[in-house]
A and B are shown apart, each in its own frame.
Chain A
Amino acid sequence: MALDNKNNMSVGKSHYQDSSFRQLTGRAEYIDDIPLSENTLHGALILSEIPSGMITSIETEKAKKFDPSITVITAKDIPGRNDIAPIFADEPIFAEKEVTYVGQPIGLIVASSMERARAAVNEVKIVYKKDKTPILDLDLAFKKKNFFLKPIHFERGKANEQIRQAPHKLEGSFSMGGQDHFYLETHIALAIPHENSEFTIWSSTQHPTEVQHGVSNVLNIPAAKISSKVRRLGGGFGGKESQSTIYAAIAALGAYILDKPVKLRLNRKDDMASSGKRHDFEVKYSVGFNKKGKIKGLDITLLSNAGNVCDLSAPVMSRALTHLDNCYSFKDFTARGYICKTNTVSNTAFRGFGGPQGMLAIETILERVSRFLEIDLDELRHENYYSLKNGIKTPYGQIVKNIKIEKMINEMETFAGLEKRKLLVEKFNRSQINKNQPYRKGIAFMPAKFGISFNKVSLNQAGALVHVYTDGSVRLNHGGTEMGQGLFIKVAQVVSECFNIPIDYVHISGTNTDEVPNTSATAASSGSDINGMAAWKAATVIKRRMLKHASKVFQKPPSSIEFKNGLILSGNKSMTFKELAFSCWENRISLSSTGFYKTPKISWDQEKFKGSPYFYFTWGAAVSEAIIDIDTGESRILRADIIQDCGSSLNPLIDRGQIEGGFIQGIGWLTCEELYYSPDGKLLTLGPSTYKIPGSRDVPPEFNIKLLENTPNEEKTIFRSKAVGEPPLLLSISHFLALKNAISMASETSNADLLNAPATPSKILAAVHNDHSM
């Protein structure tokens, strides 16, 4: 395979995101911008106002009085199945009798404009019989054993015996909050009915195939008649992996019933109330260790809040559990995972997919052990890193190959000057204390290992479709979706490289299930790995045919013919790529091919919780320096240094954007983003006025990023690159550790153990004052 990139036509170059310029001039078309036919109608959702109970009646008279032309659609109008769950059949599009969270869709109002539909929804009254004991938090769900699936339990060695015998032991628990995706474009779908029960569904989704299936099930129409499309998403982050399906299905149901196009665009409030978020977790642990910090035994229990339906909570928990080891070898290890069912919105995929929660758990535990022993956290880590000496087998059985921890640490020392800065931070804090000033700094390093592949083996497949036209232009289509992450340009670079043609010969087309069927979600950081490879395969098939034909034209063996920068060269003869394409057509040679790829080498036994679920690991490391104000609990990140392993990067500019953006998104999760519920289970942070994602000033003023150099992926990935979408988010945990470091130096009485995530001013001040009740 020619994956070692000898030509450097496009791959490895910093091309801009494919529609960057159109986005900057307002000409990029999102679903809400698609010109509509005049008969298009608009929907608004009727959402549940209670967390748990039965619907007694839905009163719509006032709404119909407001506008007699509206149509009200509820569960009884569904011709097919009232379910769009991705894995287990437990997720109705409309609550029929029972409601299970505040914000659950109960019905749709269709009107001549979105504003009218929303105004009509305000006139609807729902009468409920309330359940008096809804389960609104993890603790109660755990106590009542309200779980999805059988709890996961896996062991390696004898953790509890080792903990008992260890010189030191600690027990504890802590919690971490969820996170709203806050993609700037809220959920939206436009459903257009055609003749013969065909439907076009435009949906802002990371998973057009699941939209196709959801619509097919709900309408009871074969998938072949449903065309699911998306050109671009205004942000996804996992929030449009499974969550778009319900809105697409609802819009399609409206279009089916009224036989007119129906658009359903959620306003921010409805989007945040009804759609899933990052799982909040609770961690309980006991850990045994020696005086150098070598972990002898570790017993960890994770509780995740799945919300009202299972959705993707099972694979999220699997990823959390398989990232508890991070970069450390634990020989005696027990872990349990409980997927808790509550009467809150269903949680779902979010960049990292449980990985960040698992990694925050172990990093927080190690940080606590280091404080307990009064030794440097990085020295403690050294005792435990995966290495030939410490062991290279994960608790779930995968062998960790090509370990880059030492390389990362060494490069980071030069890059960030960690050891010297630790001393400067201490000096700063001493001087603040002496001068009775309120600022304290903290600094922390962290390494991160992230497993690449979908935890469910079957999802690791992709298709692509490449056409070469007689003018030499190339149309590229694949199953991946573009949500700003730069996937489209990366895959186009692969095709440009394959034919050795300039990048602008390659026309990038929007994702649709007509051209490439049975796609996987663009998720798990896998987009360029799997779609890039599928596109490369498709292009290679065509190239081989073209080469064979060129060999006839030039009367030279194929090995002597070279594709170079849009030309086909053979000795001193040449022709253009366009001439060759035209000549192929004249000679009746097919210029179109599909490509298909499945990730090799992976295996997983969910029942035993054993196997090698990850094709490879990416490596990353970060140093964060934080400052807190002990008068107010305010905090910020002052500096971040990041080294990320992208293998041989397909596009360093795009990868850098993923690293920066992912890191800042993680900072948001761990600091300012707080989902706040009322005591009766209603999310109160339903918009950016109350739910605060990082702003431009929240970015570290000094932000240094480096891609690890000369590290082609040892596995045969597309041009030896590595996935980059999620891994950088996990590095933000370094900032959380830096905050703990600052708190631990705040005063004699401060208690960094009290800090739960997100580290809001309130929580930081509570830890500074060592006051649990604050």
Chain B
Amino acid sequence: MEKQNKKSEPSFYVNFKKVYARNIDSNISLLNFLRHNCKFTGTKEGCSEGDCGACSVLIFDEKGSLAPVNSCILKVGQIIDKNIVTIEGASKLSSAKPLIQALNSEAASQCGFCTPGFVMAALALKEKHKSPSESIIHDSLSGNLCRCTGYRPIVNGIQSLKEKIRLPMPINSKGPKLKTAIFGKTTYIYPDSKKELIEFISKEENYTVLSGGTDWNLEAEDSNFKQQKILFLNNIKEMSTIKTKTSSFEIGACVTLSKFEALCREFFSPFLDTIIRFGSPQIRTAATVGGNLGTSSPIGDLAPLFFVLEAQLSLLGPKGERTIPIKDFFKGYRKNALKRNELIYKVKIPKTKKEDSIFSWKLSKRYDQDISTLSLAAKFKMDKNHTIENIILSAGGVGPTPLLLDKTSKLLKDSNLRFNQNSLITALSHDISPISDLRGTAKYRSAAMVGLIKKMQRSAISGEKQHSIMSI
């Protein structure tokens, strides 16, 4: 009897041991499950919004490679059958001990509350890099905040260790996959094919579509105890993979930002500076391409990039797929073209041609792990005489939606990038309508957008990459 129950009970692996999600009264986060149910209190809650990294744990992906993730904004319903490693598990591994010793020797822990999270981030880094550069270390620690040390001892501790760290392989879960799981009044539904997905959205009305949850789970506190259905998309293989076609890439909506980052590294390298500032490694482990577009924020770090690449979105509804260009997707502040029971299924991005140049710049209060104040992306083509043949500019943070800068693009093309400042300001004033908020005033956004266009101009004229002051 008990065995039978176990089969239908949601379970996953913590520190290489199977745990069952039992006696749960709500849509519980992994962090609370670890602390309250497993009594693994080494993982800390610092902010509960995925920004401080104190709750970082490691998660293995299907290939057995390991990544840090914020357990505070990850629900237990999202990690069925996955392998999680916490500080309690990691610190017992002999392979992790040199790192812990190195951090201790540098006095990398003062109050210690952020420390387990840093150890997790550092382990993930050292699993991939033998001797990472300082810049890569900063990339890897961008999801972790420390208020005591000033970070140098942490960076030094990581640098002092010259060996890669090998971690054990995850445990493979066997047997049939769960179709549903219940956590208090929350029901998770786990379709694993397009067919099952269509079946579900054809008959159900009230549900929440969930993949990485890095946005929706922030607001979940209000609904954790309420009757709700969550349609979890990550088990549909087609939605989590990138297909390379002859002239385009088909990116499943559930492809994580980490995977997208790898794609950019190879094919869209000028975007990389922006992509590695999308959230943090912890966020990019969970956050998805479709999620970023679906939230339809005015900023949406990916949207300006996709605008200039002229991406097409494949939307799936009860009657199948339809395709629209991304410029038709955003309809207003947090509004988009998705109809009832429709979801983003794929994003198709044409490959850039040799003669195309791309540019992007993200501007935020803090360089790392911050929401853009504004952003600019551009794609342009120069002929042999250094004349602009065509140019597309797109921006985030300067209107109710991410948008194309049509008038400005025209000015840049017509003037062959030799515009004067006043005509630029006039053109921009037609394209953008920024507001004042906690990230900057409307006037600042307008002035800084002029600055970003100048950077793009310098880049186009010189053919050289424009460096941020954080990377010079």
Residues of chain A whose beta carbon lies under 8 Å from any beta carbon of chain B = 16-17, 19-30, 32-33, 35, 66, 113, 115-116, 118-119, 122, 181-186, 232-237, 267-268, 436-439, 483-486, 627-636, 653-654, 656-657, 660-665, 672, 674, 676, 684-685, 687-690, 692-699, 701, 703, 760-762, 765-766, 769, 771, 773-774
> Which of B108, B114, B144, B152 interacts with A699 by CB under 8 Å?
B152
- What are 14 A-B interface contacts by the 8 Å CB criterion? A16-B104, A21-B100, A26-B116, A26-B119, A28-B112, A184-B113, A232-B111, A630-B451, A657-B149, A687-B49, A687-B51, A699-B150, A703-B150, A765-B448
The distance in angstroms between the C-alpha atoms of A627 and B471, with both chains bound, is 12
B134 part of interface (Cβ distance < 8 Å): yes
Known contacts being A17-B107, A24-B91, is A118 close to B221, with CB within 8 Å? yes
Q: Let me know if A115 and B224 touch, CB within 8 A.
A: yes
- If A27-B42, A632-B448, A657-B107 are given as contacts, then 6 extra A-B residue pairs at C-beta distance below 8 Å, sorted by A number, are A21-B104, A115-B28, A631-B452, A636-B367, A657-B110, A689-B49
Give the most central of B40, B44, B110, B455: most A CB within 10 Å: B110
Known contacts being A24-B100, A661-B110, A696-B154, is A237 close to B147, with CB within 8 Å? yes
B236 part of interface (Cβ distance < 8 Å): no
Q: Which B-chain residue is minimally distant from A705 (CB atoms)?
A: B152
Instruction: Report the count of interface residues on B (CB-CB < 8 A).
Output: 86
Q: Which B-chain residue is minimally distant from A27 (CB atoms)?
A: B42
Q: Let me know if B147 and A184 touch, CB within 8 A.
A: yes
List of A residues within 8 angstroms of B141 by Cβ: 695-696
B115 part of interface (Cβ distance < 8 Å): yes
B153 part of interface (Cβ distance < 8 Å): yes
List of A residues within 8 angstroms of B1 by Cβ: none
Known contacts being A27-B42, A33-B41, A439-B469, is A268 close to B443, with CB within 8 Å? no
Q: Which B-chain residue is minimally distant from A760 (CB atoms)?
A: B365
List of B residues within 8 angstroms of A267 by Cβ: 45, 48
Interface mask (B356-374 → A, CB under 8 Å = 1, otherwise 0): 0000000101111111010
B52 part of interface (Cβ distance < 8 Å): yes
Q: Which A-chain residue is minimally distant from B86 (CB atoms)?
A: A26
Q: Let me know if A634 and B222 touch, CB within 8 A.
A: no
List of B residues within 8 angstroms of A236 by Cβ: 111
The distance in angstroms between the C-alpha atoms of A701 and B138, with both chains bound, is 11
B296 part of interface (Cβ distance < 8 Å): no
List of A residues within 8 angstroms of B454 by Cβ: 438, 631
The distance in angstroms between the C-alpha atoms of A439 and B472, with both chains bound, is 10
Q: Let me know if A696 and B137 touch, CB within 8 A.
A: yes
The distance in angstroms between the C-alpha atoms of A697 and B44, with both chains bound, is 23
Interface mask (B420-439 → A, CB under 8 Å = 1, otherwise 0): 00000000000000000010
Could you tell me the dominant secondary structure of chain A's interface residues? loop
A680 to chain B, nearest CB (A): 14
Top 4 A-B pairs, shortest CB-CB distance = A26-B42, A484-B111, A23-B112, A631-B451
Q: Let me know if A687 and B47 touch, CB within 8 A.
A: yes
Q: Which A-chain residue is minimally distant from B367 (CB atoms)?
A: A697
Q: Let me know if A115 and B32 touch, CB within 8 A.
A: yes
Known contacts being A688-B49, A696-B142, A696-B155, is A761 close to B363, with CB within 8 Å? yes
Q: Which B-chain residue is minimally distant from A272 (CB atoms)?
A: B47
Q: Let me know if B110 and A674 touch, CB within 8 A.
A: no
List of B residues within 8 angstroms of A689 by Cβ: 47, 49-51, 371
Q: Let me know if A184 and B472 touch, CB within 8 A.
A: no
Q: Let me know if A20 and B448 touch, CB within 8 A.
A: no
Q: Let me know if B44 and A185 touch, CB within 8 A.
A: yes
Known contacts being A185-B44, A657-B110, A689-B371, is A674 close to B438, with CB within 8 Å? yes
Known contacts being A30-B113, A483-B111, A692-B365, is A762 close to B441, with CB within 8 Å? yes
> Which of A116, A268, A660 interacts with B153 by CB under 8 Å?
A660
List of A residues within 8 angstroms of B43 by Cβ: 26
Interface mask (B103-130 → A, CB under 8 Å = 1, otherwise 0): 1100111111111100100000000000
B447 part of interface (Cβ distance < 8 Å): yes
Q: Let me know if A636 and B147 touch, CB within 8 A.
A: no
B318 part of interface (Cβ distance < 8 Å): no
Known contacts being A267-B48, A689-B49, A695-B366, is A627 close to B116, with CB within 8 Å? no
Q: Let me know if B110 and A761 touch, CB within 8 A.
A: no
List of A residues within 8 angstroms of B152 by Cβ: 660, 699, 703
Give the most central of B47, B112, B371: most A CB within 10 Å: B112
Q: Let me know if A774 and B366 touch, CB within 8 A.
A: no
Q: Let me know if B47 and A771 touch, CB within 8 A.
A: no
B60 part of interface (Cβ distance < 8 Å): no
Q: Let me know if A484 and B365 touch, CB within 8 A.
A: no
Q: Let me know if A66 and B225 touch, CB within 8 A.
A: yes
Q: Let me know if A690 and B368 touch, CB within 8 A.
A: no
B214 to chain A, nearest CB (A): 11
B26 part of interface (Cβ distance < 8 Å): yes
Give the most central of B46, B441, B443: most A CB within 10 Å: B46
List of B residues within 8 angstroms of A771 by Cβ: 443, 447
> Which of A20, A116, A268 interacts with B109 by CB under 8 Å?
A20
B249 part of interface (Cβ distance < 8 Å): no
List of B residues within 8 angstroms of A234 by Cβ: 44, 111-113
Q: Let me know if A685 and B366 touch, CB within 8 A.
A: no
Q: Let me know if B87 and A699 touch, CB within 8 A.
A: no
List of B residues within 8 angstroms of A27 by Cβ: 42, 91
B446 to chain A, nearest CB (A): 9
Q: Let me know if B366 and A183 touch, CB within 8 A.
A: no
The distance in angstroms between the C-alpha atoms of A236 and B110, with both chains bound, is 11
The distance in angstroms between the C-alpha atoms of A663 and B40, with both chains bound, is 34
List of B residues within 8 angstroms of A654 by Cβ: 107
List of B residues within 8 angstroms of A16 by Cβ: 104, 107
Q: Let me know if B366 and A672 touch, CB within 8 A.
A: yes
Q: Let me know if A268 and B112 touch, CB within 8 A.
A: no
> Which of A633, A663, A696, A766 interacts with B138 by CB under 8 Å?
A696
Q: Let me know if A657 and B370 touch, CB within 8 A.
A: no
The distance in angstroms between the C-alpha atoms of A693 and B441, with both chains bound, is 20
The distance in angstroms between the C-alpha atoms of A185 and B145, with both chains bound, is 12
List of A residues within 8 angstroms of B35 by Cβ: 32
List of A residues within 8 angstroms of B149 by Cβ: 657, 660-661
Q: Let me know if B440 and A761 touch, CB within 8 A.
A: yes
> Which of A436, A663, A687, A765 interacts with B447 by CB under 8 Å?
A765
List of A residues within 8 angstroms of B36 by Cβ: 113
> Which of A235, A629, A630, A760 interacts with B113 by CB under 8 Å?
A235
List of B residues within 8 angstroms of A656 by Cβ: 107
Q: Let me know if A631 and B448 touch, CB within 8 A.
A: yes
Q: Let me know if B443 and A20 touch, CB within 8 A.
A: no
The distance in angstroms between the C-alpha atoms of A692 and B150, with both chains bound, is 14
A181 to chain B, nearest CB (A): 8
Q: Which B-chain residue is minimally distant from A672 (CB atoms)?
A: B366
Interface mask (B219-247 → A, CB under 8 Å = 1, otherwise 0): 00110110000000000000000000000
B393 part of interface (Cβ distance < 8 Å): no
Give the most central of A657, A695, A766: most B CB within 10 Å: A695
The distance in angstroms between the C-alpha atoms of A28 and B112, with both chains bound, is 8
List of A residues within 8 angstroms of B363 by Cβ: 632, 634, 761
B404 part of interface (Cβ distance < 8 Å): no
List of A residues within 8 angstroms of B221 by Cβ: 115, 118-119, 122
> Which of A32, A635, A699 interacts with B469 by CB under 8 Å?
A635
Interface mask (B27-65 → A, CB under 8 Å = 1, otherwise 0): 010001001100111111111111110100000000000
List of A residues within 8 angstroms of B324 by Cβ: none
Q: Which B-chain residue is minimally distant from A663 (CB atoms)?
A: B150
> Which of B100, B111, B224, B447 interacts with A774 by CB under 8 Å?
B447
List of A residues within 8 angstroms of B32 by Cβ: 115
A751 to chain B, nearest CB (A): 15
Q: Let me know if A696 and B225 touch, CB within 8 A.
A: no
B282 to chain A, nearest CB (A): 12
List of B residues within 8 angstroms of A674 by Cβ: 365, 438
B146 part of interface (Cβ distance < 8 Å): yes
Q: Let me know if B444 and A184 touch, CB within 8 A.
A: no
Q: Let me know if B443 and A774 touch, CB within 8 A.
A: yes
List of B residues within 8 angstroms of A762 by Cβ: 440-441, 444
Q: Let me know if B116 and A17 touch, CB within 8 A.
A: no
List of A residues within 8 angstroms of B169 by Cβ: none
